[in-house]
Each structure stands twice: as C-alpha cells, then as structure tokens.
Amino acid sequence: MSNDIIETARTTRANTTEKEATTASTAKETGKKSLFGNLNADLKQALDSWDVITETMTNKVSPEQEQLQEVKKLLGELKSKLAQFED
C-alpha cells in the first residue's frame, strides 16, 4: 500500500511539473507573440512615417541649392545687362 502512495505522489508530481512546463511554455509563446506584435506595429508605423517624410521632402530644395539657383539667376541678369553695353 505504501508503494501505491509513493507511486501516486511521483505521478502527481510529474504531472504537475509537466503542466507547469506547458503553462510556462504557453506564457512564453504568448509573450513572444505580444512582443512580435508590438515590434510589427512599430515597424509599420515607422514605414508609414518614412513614406510621409519622403513625400514631403521630395520636392524640397536644400539651402545650398537655393543659393546656387539665386547665383545663377544673378549671373543671368548680369550677363543680359552686359549684353546691352555690347550693342
């Protein structure tokens, strides 16, 4: 009879340990899914932000380019005024 009690205790302990391992594994999987879900949402938000920034910056001229265009315009005006003196 005492062997039956010992065997029952072993079986119960083994089942409990197995259930705890399964529960821990399930919790770990849920945590991973939540983590990857959050990561995926963050990546999607970053990609959307990148698209918006790219659209707004596509036609924007840098300060250096603005200066270059201004210099070209002034040189063109100067050239046309010098052409008047040649005639």
pLDDT in tens, 16-53: 666 665 665 666 667 777 878 888 899 999 988 988 88
pLDDT, tens digit, 9 for 90 and up, residues 6-25 = 556 566 665 566 666 566 56
Find the angle CA(63)-CA(68)-CA(73) to the nearest 5 degrees. Answer: 125
- Residue 1, pLDDT score: 46
Q: Which of 60, 41, 59 is nearest to 49 (CA)?
A: 41
Residues 6+ apart with CB under 8 A from 69: 61
pTM given for the model:
0.38
Cα–Cα dist 80/86, whole Å = 10
> How far is it, in rounded angstroms, from Cα 21 to Cα 23?
5
Residue 2 has pLDDT above 80, yes or no: no
The per-residue pLDDT of the chain, averaged, comes to: 78
